[in-house]
Amino acid sequence: MNEWLDRHMGRLFLAPAVTLILIFSIFPLVASLILAFSRLRLRGGGFTMRWVGFRNFEKQLFGSEQFHLLGTFTTVSILGWIVGLAGTGLLIWWMVRYARTRFHWVGFLGRMITFGIAVGLLWLFCATLLSGNPFGTVGTTLFYVFVGCGIQFLIGTALAFACSQKLRGRTTFRVIFFVPMMVTPIGVGYTFRMLADVTKGPFAGVWQWAGLGDFAWATDPWAARIFITVADSWQWIPFVFIMMLAAFESVPRDLVEAGDLDGASPWQSFREITWPHVMPIAATVMLIRAIEAFKIVDLPNIMTSGGPGIATESVSLQAYYAWRSLDLGQASAVAYILLFVTVVICVSFFNLVVLSRVRAQK
């Protein structure tokens, strides 16, 4: 018995984790896929399932829910056509260049999927935003991911760089800047709603002075989206800040000082010494942040309930609302579309940016 234990101890150490993930992650993943292809009816405590094939996805992508998930496509403006065609051309050129230089079928297949999603999202962008049509939850989620993470990265990195200088009191600043990350997202949502109140909030005076005394940011799509982005940034800039600060502090100081002695300007030494050193960490930080950003659901739910209309609804929130109206098939289909987009974008970013940087360093 003891001998058996000893021999299999390695497996026994790993087994609990693998079992838990299989039960709570892999099995639900498979079950969710099956749900996405079926229609569910609740019936007296139990439920019946019927296989409907691709009908759930069809409804979301091409049918009556298209406006909700993707947006309304009526006409594509000239600007939309120009940007769309130019972007598609660029992507085709990228594919052709890859196929010509170093062709490998795994790489090609992966890039084909990336290419497909990129072209799809590009045209989504051109046909909705650039053509003045309203966009759906996918567009909103991508707005939160790209604009939100972009802002968070820029501000977080700038603050980290400032805090990595030899300044008195930087430890205090560091502790203060870290705090928002601890606040529950629900709390962030309500607090920012409170702050944004135009009559009772702290900035009521400013609103009155600007002549916006009866402006309701929750009824204007862009104001609401930007507001959610501000709250999200307040919460997540600390994460970027902490990681980038540690990255800046790991830059060897003698290198920077040697640069100073050789008469490098601060900008030069930042570009030539500091940035290459922190770049791989920056890419990883962005990846982690983006992965979490795709899941955004608390803030839109608390701050605007997805409104006005569907203007601030993220894909996760749409799936949640579908679940709440007991439409489990649609909920799973929406969630799977989110999963697909997330995985393709994150894996592409990982392969094309993070790994290529790592390879370049070696």
Partner 1 sequence: MSTRRPGLFEPRAIGQMAPATKILLYTILIVWAAFVLFPIYWLLITSVKTPAAVNQGPFFLPFIDFEPSLHAWKELFVIDYEDTLRAYMNSIIISLSATALSVLVGSMAAYALSRVDYAPNLITILYFVALLAGVGVAVGIYDVDWMLATAVAVALFFLLARAVGRIYEVRLGNGDILFWIISQRILAPIVVVVPIYMMFQSVRLLDTHLAIILTYAVVNLPIVVWLMYDFFNSIPRDLEESAQIDGATMIGTFREIILPLSRAGLAATTLLVMILSWNEYLLALFLSTTKAQTMPILVAAMNAGERGVLWWTMSVTIVVMIIPVVVLAVILQKYITKGLLVGAVKG
Asked whether the beta carbons of 140 and 316 are under 8 A apart, the reply is no
Q: Which amino acid is at 306?
A: G
* Residue 357 binds to partner 1 (criterion: CB under 8 A): no
Rounded CA separation 322/312 (Å): 16
Q: Which run of H or E residues covers position 41?
A: strand 38-43
* Residue 53 binds to partner 1 (criterion: CB under 8 A): no
From 202, 252, 276, 309, residue interacting with partner 1 (rule: CB under 8 A) = 202
* Residue 96 binds to partner 1 (criterion: CB under 8 A): no
Residues across the chain: 362
Of 14 and 79, CB closest to partner 1: 14
Q: Is 50 left (phi over 0), alpha (psi -120 to 50) or beta?
A: beta
DSSP symbols for 301-357: HHHTTT-STTTT--HHHHHHHHHHTT-HHHHHHHHHHHHHHHHHHHHHHIIIIIHHH
Of 89 and 184, CB closest to partner 1: 184
Among the listed ranges 45-53, 69-77, 80-88, 115-123, the one in contact with partner 1 (CB under 8 A) is 45-53
Asked whether the beta carbons of 91 and 56 are under 8 A apart, the reply is no
Among the listed ranges 60-68, 96-104, 110-118, 294-302, the one in contact with partner 1 (CB under 8 A) is 294-302
Asked whether the beta carbons of 318 and 334 are under 8 A apart, the reply is yes
Q: Which amino acid is at 35?
A: L
Q: ω before 308 within 30° of 0 (cis)? A: yes
- Contact positions with partner 1 (CB under 8 A) in 211-250: 234, 238, 242-243, 245-247, 250
- Residue 101 CB, nearest distance to partner 1 (Å)? 27
* Residue 162 binds to partner 1 (criterion: CB under 8 A): yes
* Residue 261 binds to partner 1 (criterion: CB under 8 A): yes
Rounded CA separation 81/90 (Å): 14
Tokens of 147: 């604009």
* Residue 131 binds to partner 1 (criterion: CB under 8 A): no
* Residue 16 binds to partner 1 (criterion: CB under 8 A): yes
* Residue 38 binds to partner 1 (criterion: CB under 8 A): yes
Of 122 and 145, CB closest to partner 1: 145
Among the listed ranges 77-85, 116-124, 211-219, 277-285, the one in contact with partner 1 (CB under 8 A) is 277-285
Among the listed ranges 64-72, 76-84, 130-138, 162-170, the one in contact with partner 1 (CB under 8 A) is 162-170
Of 84 and 238, CB closest to partner 1: 238
Of 45 and 211, CB closest to partner 1: 45
* Residue 29 binds to partner 1 (criterion: CB under 8 A): yes
Of 130 and 345, CB closest to partner 1: 345
Q: Which of helix, strand or coil describes residue 151? A: helix
Q: At what angle do helices 275-293 and 221-249 cross, to 10 degrees?
A: 140
Q: Which amino acid is at 166?
A: K
From 115, 143, 177, 248, residue interacting with partner 1 (rule: CB under 8 A) = 177
